[in-house]
């Protein structure tokens, strides 16, 4: 039991930190532009694919740097020539634009790289078990993922709170007009933050690609979960996004590893349900089965009872 909890905890933290790398960019972009970027997870997918192609030629490590930069530049260009143009049609059009972009990127990816899964693998130097605990291996690559994610989190925190750039970004978020009056190029700041947010998503893709397989559906798999995190944590709140990422990451891994079902509870209570009726599936429902719906359940509950999210201050 202890080893189960231990490994679920570690895996949950890996997933949670990975999700945070996506959610942090998304929530920053949201606080600036008020737009939830549906295509954010698509940039994550692009990161994985770029890194895969780069790793074919020059190996994993250059891809770790080049792929996020490419994704960031692409994101900045899309902000400059796409999103800023659509802005004139209003919020709903922006939301629909990012939605269409997500659809388009998925099609472009399957056009360029094909629909099948790519053999994008972790570098050989990280293909060993870091430690063995109760007979179970913990791969070094996961430790590497944790390390990169934490490093990025700290760097992001330091840049936002300790540097001049971070100050300008914070000012541009809360008082864009005043910041522009003071002579800062606010649209440029927006473009930069959008680009950096996309680059973070791309980096998440680079390191997640080998662990979670690289295929054209990978954006869809993670996309709506990242939304859940941003909304549950509170729109525009980085701290909230961090907490929500860990909650969702842990919730998913624990739900999969703990095999309890409704019938267990019922047998404790000495109730035998009928196995014929229309609700028969309800009695055999087990925790791993409901694992995929838990985040959405959380989302709906949060939106009903606390629309601002856990740490958020504003609704939309």
Query: Which residues contribute to the site for other proteins (CB under 8 A)?
Result: 34, 36, 82, 85-86, 89-93, 95-97, 99-101, 103-104, 106-108, 111-112, 114, 220, 224, 227-228, 231, 235, 278-282, 285, 289-290, 292-293, 296-297, 299-300, 303-304, 307, 315-316
Least distance in angstroms from the C-beta of 141 to other proteins: 29
Least distance in angstroms from the C-beta of 14 to other proteins: 23
Q: Which is nearer to other proteins, 206 or 232 (CB)?
A: 232
Tell me, letter by letter, the H, E, C secondary structure of 84-129.
HHHHHHCHHHHHHHHHHHHHHHHHHHHHHHCCCCECCCCCHHHCCE
Least distance in angstroms from the C-beta of 25 to other proteins: 17
Task: Using CB atoms within 10 Å of the CB of residue 273, give its burial: 0 to 12 exposed, 13 to 18 middle, 19+ buried.
Answer: middle
Least distance in angstroms from the C-beta of 271 to other proteins: 19
Least distance in angstroms from the C-beta of 256 to other proteins: 14
Q: Which is nearer to other proteins, 73 or 95 (CB)?
A: 95
Least distance in angstroms from the C-beta of 235 to other proteins: 8
Place of tokens 């690289």: 214
Q: Which is nearer to other proteins, 15 or 179 (CB)?
A: 15
Least distance in angstroms from the C-beta of 261 to other proteins: 12
Q: Which is nearer to other proteins, 97 or 215 (CB)?
A: 97
Residue 116 main-chain phi, psi, to 5 deg: -85, 165
Measured in whole angstroms, the distance separating CA 205 from the mean position of its chain's CA atoms is 9
Q: DSSP alpha helices (H): ranges in the chain?
A: 2-33, 40-58, 60-78, 84-86, 91-113, 140-162, 164-174, 176-181, 186-212, 218-233, 238-257, 262-268, 280-283, 287-290, 294-305
Sign of the torsion formed by the C-alpha atoms of 124, 22, 238 and 28:
positive
Q: Which is nearer to other proteins, 59 or 90 (CB)?
A: 90
List, as one string, the DSSP characters of 181-220: HTT--HHHHHHHHHHHHHHHHHHHHHHHHHHH-B-TTHHH
Q: Which is nearer to other proteins, 23 or 64 (CB)?
A: 23
Q: Which is nearer to other proteins, 94 or 122 (CB)?
A: 94
């Amino acid at each position: 039991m202890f080893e189960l909890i231990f490994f679920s905890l570690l895996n949950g933290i890996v997933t949670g930190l990975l999700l945070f790398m996506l959610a942090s960019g998304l929530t920053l972009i949201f606080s600036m532009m008020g737009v939830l970027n549906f295509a954010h997870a698509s940039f994550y997918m692009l990161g994985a694919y770029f890194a895969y192609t780069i790793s074919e030629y020059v190996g994993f490590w250059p891809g770790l740097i080049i792929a996020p930069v490419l994704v960031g530049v692409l994101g900045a260009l899309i902000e400059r020539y796409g999103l800023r143009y659509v802005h004139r049609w209003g919020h709903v059009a922006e939301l629909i634009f990012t939605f269409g972009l997500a659809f388009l990127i998925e099609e472009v990816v399957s056009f360029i790289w094909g629909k099948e899964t790519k053999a994008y693998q972790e570098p050989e130097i990280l293909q060993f078990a870091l430690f063995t605990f109760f007979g179970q291996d913990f791969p070094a690559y996961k430790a590497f993922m944790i390390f990169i994610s934490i490093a990025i989190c700290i760097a992001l925190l330091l840049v936002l709170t300790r540097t001049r750039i971070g100050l300008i970004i914070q000012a541009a978020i809360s008082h864009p007009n005043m910041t522009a009056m003071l002579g800062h190029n606010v649209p440029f700041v927006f473009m930069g933050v959008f680009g950096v947010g996309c680059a973070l998503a791309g980096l998440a893709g680079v390191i997640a690609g080998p662990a979670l397989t690289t295929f054209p559906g990978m954006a869809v798999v993670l996309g709506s979960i990242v939304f859940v995190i941003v909304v549950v944590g509170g729109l525009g709140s980085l701290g909230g996004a961090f907490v929500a990422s860990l909650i969702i990451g842990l919730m998913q891994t624990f739900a999969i590893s703990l095999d309890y079902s409704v019938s267990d509870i019922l047998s404790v209570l000495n109730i035998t349900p009928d196995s014929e009726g229309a609700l028969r599936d309800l009695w055999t429902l087990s925790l791993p089965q409901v694992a995929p719906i838990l985040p959405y359940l959380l989302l709906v509950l949060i939106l009903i009872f606390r629309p601002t999210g856990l740490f958020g201050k504003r609704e939309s």
